[in-house]
Amino acid sequence: MPPRTTAPSSKSQAYSELLRSIFSPDELRRWLKYYSDDAAAELPGVTASELALCQAVAEITERRGFVGDVGWWRHVLNGRDLRRADIRTVASLYGVMM
């Protein structure tokens, strides 16, 4: 994956931080693969830092338009009911109301 040439937007940063706070790196990789094998194939290698991985997932899912789909956010929420408010807040940054 090429290095990021611009700083992430504040919503991208909030999204990346949310992912980092609710998933371990291994879990995040499995979770994305479950949703989209093609998207998971774009992830950096296993030696990437947790921060780089979360930023990559945010970038990939934004580019692919997943973040504008309520189905994506339901996937994020699945099994994370205690973080529902945080997830809804970040989803709303992308225009998704849950």
> What are the sequence ranges of the domains in the chain?
10-93
Contact between 69 and 34 (Cβ < 8 Å): no
Q: From CA 72, how far away is CA 98, in angstroms rounded?
A: 11
Mean pLDDT of the chain: 92
pLDDT at 79: 84
The more confidently predicted of residues 8 and 31 is 31
Residues 33-42 have pLDDT tens digits of: 999 999 999 9
Residue 44 pLDDT more than 50? yes
DSSP 8-state class, residue 48: S
Q: Which two tokens stand for residue 72?
A: 């994506």
Residue 84 pLDDT more than 70? yes
